Structure 1
């Protein structure tokens, strides 16, 4: 990321920091965002996030493009509200023209209404796709403006989510707007993007009773908590402080036995993947590679719980995870798409795994879960 120095709080940002009780030495886990990738999330999980980690707000994936509706949006909204969190939504943008942006906003707004997203919530446009990457900054600005203007017709407040490398490069992000993603190697001591609404500082945060990694953000204003009544506050302030300090620490320890091996291979990304400066989930993100991107690699290594590949670039190398160490290619499939199975009443991890020629551990892992996670009828699981 281009931003290297700690930002100073001035004006409205200072007031927002005072309002939120900013601790300049540690980024906070104010907001978590979830999607189908996280599977079914219970009210108990959201209550734990609130009480033990200080999560105030939840932002739920609603839709993507002009046809995809996130199957877990309704349950995430309902369960997040039941836990007393401020609930918002986001739409993964695929538009390349103003007409497409308006059509996607209409689709997202209608889908959000059906899923139960409350009026007054934020419904952000998540702009990181190949379609946006192919456009000029002026075109992206025009399209984003059209989306946000249209989404307000449904009673939602608008915002833009994008990566730090795209902000004011691929699109304009003005002060007092924007939700920006940037993942420093060591978080403590920085307050990045303090003049924007939110800074997403990790994509691998862990919560005590939830499986897998989560995207977490610090709120630098009250934009994502406005318009909805907060029913419950954290009950364990000591745990909140301790868990935030732990999340801020550099926790990646490279394996002393891991060695790079030669791998000349071409991958086609099945979903958006973060290209990093090193083979670690704690390494800075260079950019977000959109789904459909083709990359060529020259080395591979297994370390830190993931299988990593190295991509030669004009000014060095980029690194991305192709999946967990079991090499099930959870995040990347070479020229393939996922096959899903819909859970039926009476199903278990064992019966579904046996039916699809998998071990229970592999099945759970490629769905971002453990074999101890409860599954529910109607839930979709990746089986291929």
Structure 2
């Protein structure tokens, strides 16, 4: 943790909420107590289910241990639905699974919408399906919400202000609350806790929605540690270059989703046009600056610039035009087993898919292995 020290930053993002799944393995009450006392965590959101058949094997123990640690508890369902009927069926499955695992009535049971199934649908279809899921989940006594990425919110689906849990991982976390009008902003997927192994998804809460609409009764016992640990967590391992430089990059990308083409390599520069999903973009240069990796597209009257994703070089919005070999994740697979099977290191496998080794992978998900 010492290598990640941020220094005196009064505007550091808070570690209000952690979400956990089978990817984190068994989590003890002591680990949750440490998160509360040393890092100021107030709430934990536990994976409950996925699609229409998968039940997270650690949901029940996570729920019990989070409650024993005195933290607020919520759940989420990883959505695979592509139709309204499937959304309702998945909501019924998630609600029943949550009840059996011990998720208390009144908790949030969010729909996690970020899969290939939704990427292939129109915004209107996703909106209809999400609304059907959330309406159905309320029949079980749970409160509903949508979790998705910042690039999908109000692009692939509608996430209104005063709702939503949005994931966006900036280059340097400081001085800005990216989604202050939404319930929660997930700002890192690699946060470290003192007695817990691996990286965790952490979020800042902007409302009391995920703390059951009540004033938090969680009182960290070590306020100095909370302050210091939050500062440390805010420092990403990717450091800004002292002098960012353009480098040659002759590549062809195909957009996975609609992307704004800017007049300059900055999110504040004017937008030339919005390139629709499926557009082929040929680039000649690339640079990392302002928290993003930018590429330059030669145009008949100059250049256009688009962000390929966060500054750690992950291609969030685009995919390379090169031919790849894919592997479809099966139940029981892990980063390690897939990497070993294909002669890769876990880090290489994860990075070429725009992820980290701490990112959860799911059955039926496709990964680039060549």
Is TM more than 0.5 here? yes
Bin of the TM-score, shorter chain as denominator length = 0.5 to 0.7
Hey, what's the Cα distance between the residues in 2 that align with 1:48 and 1:285? 46
Q: In the alignment, is the contact (CA less than 8 A) between 1:299 and 1:309 conserved in 2?
A: yes
For the structure 1 residues 138 and 295, does the alpha-carbon distance in structure 2 shift closer, same or farther, using more than 3 Å as the test?
Answer: same
Q: CA RMSD in A?
A: 7.9
SS of 1:109's partner is: helix
Q: In the alignment, is the contact (CA less than 8 A) between 1:203 and 1:213 conserved in 2?
A: yes
Question: Normalising to structure 1: TM-score of the pair?
Answer: 0.64
Find the partner of 2:279 among 277, 293, 299.
293
For the structure 1 residues 272 and 64, does the alpha-carbon distance in structure 2 shift closer, same or farther, using more than 3 Å as the test?
Answer: farther
Render the CA deviation track for 1:23-70: whole Å, top value 9, x for unaligned. Answer: 971210000000111111111111000000000000000011001111
Render the CA deviation track for 1:282-310: whole Å, top value 9, x for unaligned. Answer: 99999999999999999999999999999
Hey, what's the Cα distance between the residues in 2 that align with 1:128 and 1:343? 16
Q: In the alignment, is the contact (CA less than 8 A) between 1:253 and 1:304 conserved in 2?
A: no
Render the CA deviation track for 1:342-361: whole Å, top value 9, x for unaligned. Answer: 99999999999999999999
SS of 2:305's partner is: strand
Shift of 1:251: 3.7
Report the equivalent of 2:293: 307
Hey, what's the Cα distance between the residues in 2 that align with 1:293 and 1:70? 37
Hey, what's the Cα distance between the residues in 1 that align with 2:2 and 2:335? 46
Hey, what's the Cα distance between the residues in 1 that align with 2:276 and 2:53? 18
Find the partner of 1:255 among 229, 233, 241.
241
Render the CA deviation track for 1:254-295: whole Å, top value 9, x for unaligned. Answer: 999999999999999999999999999999999999999999
Q: Which moved more, 1:204-213 or 1:281-290?
A: 281-290
Shift of 1:252: 2.6
Q: Which moved more, 1:54-63 or 1:316-325?
A: 316-325
Shift of 1:227: 5.8
Q: Which moved more, 1:39-48 or 1:262-271?
A: 262-271
Q: In the alignment, is the contact (CA less than 8 A) between 2:5 and 2:233 conserved in 1?
A: no
Shift of 1:204: 0.9
For the structure 1 residues 281 and 358, does the alpha-carbon distance in structure 2 shift closer, same or farther, using more than 3 Å as the test?
Answer: farther
1:157 aligns with 2:143: yes
Flag structure 1 segments of 5+ consecutive residues without an equivalent.
1-14
Hey, what's the Cα distance between the residues in 2 that align with 1:250 and 1:342? 30
For the structure 1 residues 191 and 270, does the alpha-carbon distance in structure 2 shift closer, same or farther, using more than 3 Å as the test?
Answer: closer
Q: In the alignment, is the contact (CA less than 8 A) between 2:208 and 2:214 conserved in 1?
A: no
The ranges of structure 1 where at least 4 consecutive aligned residues each deviate by more than 3 angstroms after the TM superposition are 15-24, 227-232, 253-384
Shift of 1:245: 1.4
Q: In the alignment, is the contact (CA less than 8 A) between 1:84 and 1:230 conserved in 2?
A: no
For the structure 1 residues 134 and 263, does the alpha-carbon distance in structure 2 shift closer, same or farther, using more than 3 Å as the test?
Answer: same
Hey, what's the Cα distance between the residues in 1 that align with 2:344 and 2:3? 49
Hey, what's the Cα distance between the residues in 2 that align with 1:99 and 1:59? 26
For the structure 1 residues 84 and 336, does the alpha-carbon distance in structure 2 shift closer, same or farther, using more than 3 Å as the test?
Answer: farther
Shift of 1:192: 1.4
Question: Normalising to structure 2: TM-score of the pair?
Answer: 0.66
Hey, what's the Cα distance between the residues in 2 that align with 1:258 and 1:65? 43
Shift of 1:311: 15
Flag structure 2 segments of 5+ consecutive residues without an equivalent.
none
Q: In the alignment, is the contact (CA less than 8 A) between 1:148 and 1:158 conserved in 2?
A: yes
Q: In the alignment, is the contact (CA less than 8 A) between 1:258 and 1:302 conserved in 2?
A: yes
Render the CA deviation track for 1:65-110: whole Å, top value 9, x for unaligned. Answer: 0011111111111111111110000000010000000000000000
Q: Which moved more, 1:320-329 or 1:104-113?
A: 320-329
Q: In the alignment, is the contact (CA less than 8 A) between 2:189 and 2:358 conserved in 1?
A: no
Q: In the alignment, is the contact (CA less than 8 A) between 1:300 and 1:307 conserved in 2?
A: yes
Q: In the alignment, is the contact (CA less than 8 A) between 2:308 and 2:315 conserved in 1?
A: yes
Shift of 1:152: 0.3
